[in-house]
Structure 1
Amino acid sequence: MLNRSPLLACADDYANGEVIAPHCHGQVQFIHAISGVMRVTTGQGSWVVPPGHALWVPQAMEHEIRMTGNVQMRTLFIHPSALGFRVSACQVVKVSALVRELILAAIGGLGAPQREARDQHLLGLLFAELEGAPPLATHVPLPLQPRLKSLCEAFVANPAQESTLQDWADQSNMSSRTLARLFLRELGMTFGEWRTRTRLILSLQRLALGVSILEVALEHGYQSPSAFSAMFKRELGYAPSHYQVG
């Protein structure tokens, strides 16, 4: 990190399918996707970061990043004491045009003695804008119970699978009623609710590759693009076309 700045800004580009292995940092991270989609996974779940959004990652939290599409990643590493608020959990937020330009300006270089006053103003505005960035609910929660977590992780890796609650119960050597109660206790939602929400969130990755809404809908078990779009907007707040590339 630059000696004169509480922030380091980096620009990295990745190809479709690249993976950054689990790691952590001593600073808070603000990971912005200019293009492509990132899926960031921690012990608490996965967060899908579509273009024009970013993910807050707390200091010292181990995470893995998987790329869908050609990802232009722009990352801020921020000393926790520099922020006027605490980042205690991962959260996806919308990146405004102003924040994007401030990030790019920070990447252009901070810390030159002759630009100290300018840098202080830039960082003050950037941190103020980051605090007010609107959140986006693209979190796929994962349970702590080992058997259930293993099944959920397998579903995240292959969300097209059509396994039922009874199928999962059989694989876990428990009754469907016990598994249903476990879902509610661990995740605060039913099996069906979790599966629907997970599929919708993960479908962002397919939309970012330019796959048609019809094809994405059929891949995720919907009979029509209108039904998929209605459920998508209800759960995520936007129509799937908002995130579609191409």
Structure 2
Amino acid sequence: MAGDERDLAEAQRAHWQSTYSAHPGMYGEEPSAPAVHAAEVFRAAGARDVLELGAGHGRDALYFAREGFTMQATDFSATGLEQLRRGALAQGTAGHVTTAVHDVRDSLRLPDASVDAVFAHMLLCMALSTDETRTLVGEIRRVLRPGGTFVYTVRHTGDAHYGTGTAHGDDIYEHGGFAVHFFPRALVDALADGWNLDEVYAFEEGELPRRLWRVTQTLPR
């Protein structure tokens, strides 16, 4: 990782840590709409073991656990994951959820072909370079079983914040301390190379509103 990328990564880690500390459960307890959709997709595919990357304080991971999936939840914020663990205890799902502090710039600490499905809501569009994102998707492919499903969401270049704020290069712009990598459609297609690209669904979220794609892709069997 280049020096500038490393500095941005560490700044983002610190920013998320302080944000979760100042605003516990900042996204609420209700699952995101993409998580509700992903649970339906995963269930239809017969998935049982689900990995969530960038789980934060756990609203989606806890929802998956309540829906009967065995969850592995990772995030680079220990503060967020502690909130997730407390939530799992309170909801009686602690036996179905494991957590690990992990930066997705590093290799996933899982064996090959060890999970049925992977979910990542707005994780790939954090302050990850295109090269880092390609490497991460390669790692996701490695840990998924044949026929496994990957559902992710990203803000895209049609978003109102694209091209504004502090530019960090590689379509990454920072607003209010949060750096976002805005995806062009060509990047979505490139990340699906060797996969079955099942769906690219456009939706909006939040007050701006943020404009996102929900992408579903599966590994060939």
The verdict on a shared fold, with TM-score over 0.5 as the criterion, is: no
Larger Rg: 1
Give the TM-score taking structure 1 as reference length: 0.23
More helix by share: 1
Give the TM-score taking structure 2 as reference length: 0.25
